């Protein structure tokens, strides 16, 4: 094994140890209350090692978030190449399985106390993909309502995933995906979107 390969493996191990330590500490306190000293003690590294990799705790957190976003992006691109629009539920199932498989990190990253901006960015990434967004916004009479549907789907999905994680994943990824799909996609009767009751009342007036 070459020296470069050994150093690369050591670097990955060190960064992973610091990422795991940050996730553990975020279970105990808000991220803005976590010091470099506390993180180094938890990860069993010295301060110079920390600063060789990261400039701050926030940068370390963003590295964890970026890794999550990269996986989701790659998964979506692969799935959307293989599936037609009717396979959107399978796409969401795949994301839910990823959440289940990585629950230790994501219970923290998706918690109400974590970075809401990251949570919104993650869900918007999923819903903005071609095919997913088209179905979610189908039947909307104008751009404003289409955007409101998207915002509702993102916010509702974040809340549902937070609840799911807080129950230690008592529901299956498939069940969560079906619920998200039910909330996110408008129902159709044939080719016409179902009109909510308050709209039907106004239409008769």
The two most distant CA atoms of the chain are separated, in Å, by 79
pLDDT recorded at residue 118: 87
What pLDDT is recorded for position 187? 55
The CATH code of domain 3-54 reads 1.10.10.60
- Confidence class for position 19, pLDDT limits 50, 70, 90: very high
Which tens digit of pLDDT belongs to each residue from 111-168?
877 888 888 888 778 777 656 666 666 667 887 887 787 778 778 888 898 899 889 8
**pLDDT at res. 56:** 96
Residues 6+ apart with CB under 8 A from 42: 21, 24, 25
User: Cα(126)–Cα(177) distance, rounded to whole angstroms?
Assistant: 13
Tell me: the pLDDT tens digits for 20-43?
999 999 999 989 999 999 999 999
What's the number of CA atoms in the CB half-sphere (13 Å) around residue 131? 17
Where do the structural domains in the chain lie, given as residue ranges? 3-54, 62-204
Strands (E), 86-187: none
The answer to whether domain 62-204 has CATH 1.10.357 is yes
């Amino acid at each position: 094994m070459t020296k470069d390969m050994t150093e690369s493996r050591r670097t990955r191990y060190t960064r992973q140890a610091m990422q795991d330590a940050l996730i553990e500490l975020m279970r105990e306190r808000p991220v803005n209350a976590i010091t470099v000293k506390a993180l180094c003690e938890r990860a069993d590294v010295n301060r110079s090692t920390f600063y060789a990799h990261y400039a701050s705790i926030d940068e370390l957190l963003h590295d964890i978030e970026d890794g999550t976003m990269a996986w989701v992006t790659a998964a979506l691109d692969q799935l959307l190449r293989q599936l037609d629009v009717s396979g959107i539920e399978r796409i969401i199932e795949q994301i839910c399985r990823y959440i289940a498989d990585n629950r230790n990190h994501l219970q923290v990253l998706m918690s109400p106390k974590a970075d809401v901006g990251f949570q919104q960015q993650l869900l918007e990434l999923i819903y903005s993909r071609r095919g997913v967004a088209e179905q979610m916004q189908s039947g909307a009479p104008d751009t404003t309502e289409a955007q409101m549907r998207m915002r509702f789907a993102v916010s509702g999905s974040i809340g549902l995933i937070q609840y799911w994680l807080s129950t230690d994943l008592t529901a299956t990824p498939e069940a969560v995906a079906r619920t998200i799909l039910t909330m996110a996609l408008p129902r159709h009767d044939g080719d016409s979107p179902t009109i909510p009751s308050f709209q039907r009342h106004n239409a008769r007036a």
